[in-house]
A and B are shown apart, each in its own frame.
Chain A
Amino acid sequence: MLEMQHIGKVYRTELVETHALRDFSLRVNEGDFVAVTGPSGSGKTTFLNIAGLLETFGDGTYRLDGEDVSGLSDKQRSRIRNQKIGFIFQSFNLIPDLDVADNVELPLRYRRLDRGERKARAERALELVGLASRTRHLPSQLSGGQQQRVAIARALAGEPRLILADEPTGNLDSLMARQVLDLLEEINARGTTVIMVTHDPDLSRRAHRNVHVLDGRVTDFKPYDPVPGGLAAGAGA
């Protein structure tokens, strides 16, 4: 699904150069559920931005779904984001002026789908997250957990191959966090690849694979743990 080789990313200001990623290599297979962990400033978010084509990178190669994306134009990258990737952000990033349904339909609009198709898909996605009854609410009228579920519905509506989640439970209490994680697992179970950035070991334990990032490098793999006890441990924490 995703293959990064020797990726380097340097942020330059007038005074300093920061190597956010160096010689970063990672391969994620189709259908994986990967947790990316690491302390703040380790390069997790940079990895996520590059993986999601939100940022370009300097060295190395990156193949997404078999396609080399290093030389693509802004417009082509927008199209790939729109069609293959679903984003879930830590602070939800719902558009405050749009109601729930409009928020979920937004990526479909950018795909130029017609109105009927958009509505149908948005409805399905909202049903999946259990918010089908709230379509005309504004984000400000929802709880944090509900907002994040809308955001997940928005990420799912485009039926992406890859879900990128950035600390999806960072702004939620533990009960809501668990609901969100349940949803991600459910999505993954249907065959969608999920990459989740988190600093919470309890969450990462529920992924098939853990990738630890330190100083812009992948330092540790934790292979897929087939024992479903991880689930119980996470819930109990």
Chain B
Amino acid sequence: MELGSILKGMSRNWVGPLLVALQVAITMAVMVNALFVIQERREVMARPTGVDEANLGRTGIFAYADDFDWTGEIRADLEALNNHPGVHAAGTVNSLPGTGSGWSSTWLVEENKPETSVQSAMYLVDEHGLETLGLELVEGRWFREDEIIDVDPTGFEGFFSGIVLTESLANKMFPDGALGRMVYTESEDQAPVVGVVRQLAVPWPSYLEWEDSSLVPGRLSGPAIFYAVRAEPGRLEQVLPEVEELLTGRASGRTVLPPETHREMVAEEFTDERATVRILFVIMVLLVLLTGLGIVGLASFNVRRRTRQIGTRRALGATRGDILRYFLAENAVLTAMGLGIGVVLTYALNYFLADQFNVARLPGSWLLIGMLALLALGQLAVLGPARTATRIPPAVATRTV
């Protein structure tokens, strides 16, 4: 509307507008990049693990008595757990997906051919595993009780009677059907693929092949073992303390590991990411507020400084709408200038972050959304002072100084 005169006005009182434009520019750069990093981290944290995350918990035992009946007590523990009301299923595991520590194994697709090797996470599970973890079996069968063997991480005798792969790993190893195929190890053991599950993530959040997991029928041979406990929907928080009490009271010569929910364990593993997300979020909110206040401040200052001028404009026939539009337009020009610098800054900052740190390149759509958001912020911020301006009576013009 009055673009030319707005620009001229700014060029004559450039310091205030320049300060605000720079604030808008840096705010855009920080806001867009912070949101982008937040989004990236949240995506990583939100990846599904394939287990019934909401209802899964973990406890375990650590035996110390010399005469502790390892096999017998575990069997009795599992029976008690599986019969406990509110428990859907419970079984032994060596680790859970996304919780940070677990085992990996190298499988060979063809016997004695190291070049056909594939890395995968290896879960030791028992006959309850399918129900306990809440996995979806798409092909074949699950392990029977008589297949579960004792395993020591530093060495054990024998090998597994079968192996279950995730779909992702099965497709990688055997693109034309995995069921019944033989999986080999570098130490010349072998086991047939007896089943395929839809999805099961690896234990390590930063591992690139997120779904390359395998499951084998095995159980740690002591002195410590984990029990995965899957509660009936919605009853996990209630069931876990009961389970701890149940196990503590059931036998002596061992301690019970404090139960944790799967979600807690994953969250702890993501401490860095969550802390980053929280700090960046606070920075962003404060920044937007601060820049909003900066705009309000400059506009209020301008309204006060221009009281007589606004009265005069009203006397000359400007409607309240004209005055409102004038301030909105002035703010839009100012914000647009800031955003012009902001686009450059945003790209520069993203380039720096991508170059130096673990941050991806910013898609262009983010830039556009950032610009629109800040334009809206500017208009919103200026609305208050602009409305004050519209209330300046035209009679101000005839007031003598």
Contact of B312 among A78, A79, A95, A109 (CB under 8 A): A95
Contact of B315 among A52, A74, A99 (CB under 8 A): A52
Q: How many residues of A contact B (CB 8 A)?
A: 34
Cα distance A88–B278 in the bound complex, in angstroms: 59
Is B2 interfacial (CB-CB < 8 Å)?
yes
Residues of A with C-beta under 8 A to B320: 74-75, 78
Is A124 interfacial (CB-CB < 8 Å)?
no
Tell whether, in the assembled complex, residue B400 and residue A91 are in contact, meaning their CB atoms are under 8 Å apart: yes
Residues of A with C-beta under 8 A to B387: none
Contact of B12 among A55, A97, A102, A154 (CB under 8 A): A97
Query: What is the distance, in angstroms, from B18's C-beta to the closest C-beta of chain A?
Result: 16
Cα distance A52–B317 in the bound complex, in angstroms: 11
Tell whether, in the assembled complex, residue A83 and residue B5 are in contact, meaning their CB atoms are under 8 Å apart: no
Cα distance A82–B318 in the bound complex, in angstroms: 7
Tell whether, in the assembled complex, residue A75 and residue B313 are in contact, meaning their CB atoms are under 8 Å apart: no
Known contacts A97-B8, A98-B5; decide if A54 and B398 are in contact (CB<8 Å): yes
Is A32 interfacial (CB-CB < 8 Å)?
no
Q: Which of A75-109 contact B (CB under 8 A)?
A: 75, 78-79, 81-83, 87, 89-91, 93, 95-99, 102, 106-107, 109
- CB-CB nearest in chain B for A160: B317
Tell whether, in the assembled complex, residue B317 and residue A110 are in contact, meaning their CB atoms are under 8 Å apart: yes
- CB-CB nearest in chain B for A138: B12
Residues of B with C-beta under 8 A to A95: 309, 312-313
Tell whether, in the assembled complex, residue B314 and residue A93 are in contact, meaning their CB atoms are under 8 Å apart: no
Cα distance A45–B395 in the bound complex, in angstroms: 9
- CB-CB nearest in chain B for A96: B309
Cα distance A96–B1 in the bound complex, in angstroms: 18
Q: Which of B213-265 contact A (CB under 8 A)?
A: none
Interface SS of chain B: helix
- CB-CB nearest in chain B for A53: B394
Residues of A with C-beta under 8 A to B13: 97
Is A111 interfacial (CB-CB < 8 Å)?
yes
Known contacts A48-B398, A55-B395, A166-B398; decide if A93 and B319 are in contact (CB<8 Å): no
Known contacts A96-B309, A97-B8, A98-B5; decide if A82 and B316 are in contact (CB<8 Å): yes
- CB-CB nearest in chain A for B394: A54
Tell whether, in the assembled complex, residue A102 and residue B316 are in contact, meaning their CB atoms are under 8 Å apart: no
Is A70 interfacial (CB-CB < 8 Å)?
no
Tell whether, in the assembled complex, residue A107 and residue B317 are in contact, meaning their CB atoms are under 8 Å apart: yes
Is B145 interfacial (CB-CB < 8 Å)?
no
Known contacts A54-B397, A81-B394, A97-B12; decide if A102 and B314 are in contact (CB<8 Å): no
Residues of A with C-beta under 8 A to B384: none
Tell whether, in the assembled complex, residue A54 and residue B393 are in contact, meaning their CB atoms are under 8 Å apart: yes
Tell whether, in the assembled complex, residue A110 and residue B401 are in contact, meaning their CB atoms are under 8 Å apart: no
Contact with A along B273-310 (1 / 0, CB 8 A): 00000000000000000000000000000000000110
Residues of B with C-beta under 8 A to A179: none
Q: Which of B1-40 contact A (CB under 8 A)?
A: 1-2, 4-5, 8-9, 12-13
Most central of A93, A102, A167 by chain B CB within 10 Å = A93
Q: Which of B308-352 contact A (CB under 8 A)?
A: 308-309, 311-322
Q: How many residues of B contact A (CB 8 A)?
A: 29
Known contacts A49-B395, A97-B12, A98-B5; decide if A79 and B400 are in contact (CB<8 Å): no
Contact of B318 among A83, A110, A166 (CB under 8 A): A110
Tell whether, in the assembled complex, residue B309 and residue A89 are in contact, meaning their CB atoms are under 8 Å apart: no
Tell whether, in the assembled complex, residue B316 and residue A106 are in contact, meaning their CB atoms are under 8 Å apart: yes
Cα distance A154–B394 in the bound complex, in angstroms: 16
Tell whether, in the assembled complex, residue B315 and residue A102 are in contact, meaning their CB atoms are under 8 Å apart: no
Residues of B with C-beta under 8 A to A107: 316-317
Known contacts A48-B398, A97-B12; decide if A87 and B315 are in contact (CB<8 Å): yes
Most central of B317, B319, B395, B400 by chain A CB within 10 Å = B317
Known contacts A54-B397, A87-B397, A97-B12; decide if A106 and B315 are in contact (CB<8 Å): no
Known contacts A55-B395, A98-B8; decide if A93 and B312 are in contact (CB<8 Å): yes
Cα distance A96–B322 in the bound complex, in angstroms: 18
Cα distance A74–B321 in the bound complex, in angstroms: 10
Residues of B with C-beta under 8 A to A54: 314-315, 393-395, 397-398
Contact with A along B367-401 (1 / 0, CB 8 A): 00000000000000000000000000111011011
Contact of A89 among B5, B312, B318, B322 (CB under 8 A): B312
Most central of A55, A87, A158 by chain B CB within 10 Å = A87
Tell whether, in the assembled complex, residue B317 and residue A78 are in contact, meaning their CB atoms are under 8 Å apart: yes
Most central of B1, B8, B315, B400 by chain A CB within 10 Å = B315
Most central of B4, B311, B316 by chain A CB within 10 Å = B316
Q: Which of A48-69 contact B (CB under 8 A)?
A: 48-49, 52, 54-55
Residues of B with C-beta under 8 A to A167: 400
Known contacts A95-B309, A97-B8, A102-B5; decide if A81 and B398 are in contact (CB<8 Å): no
The 8 tightest CB contacts between A and B, nearest first, are A82-B317, A97-B9, A93-B312, A78-B319, A54-B394, A54-B395, A110-B317, A107-B316
A-B contact pairs, 13 of them (CB 8 A): A48-B398, A49-B398, A52-B315, A52-B398, A75-B319, A78-B320, A91-B401, A95-B313, A97-B9, A97-B13, A98-B8, A106-B316, A107-B316
Excluding A52-B315, A93-B309, 18 further A-B contacts by CB distance (< 8 Å) are A54-B393, A54-B397, A74-B319, A78-B319, A79-B317, A81-B315, A81-B316, A82-B318, A87-B316, A91-B400, A95-B313, A98-B8, A102-B5, A106-B313, A109-B1, A109-B2, A110-B317, A110-B319
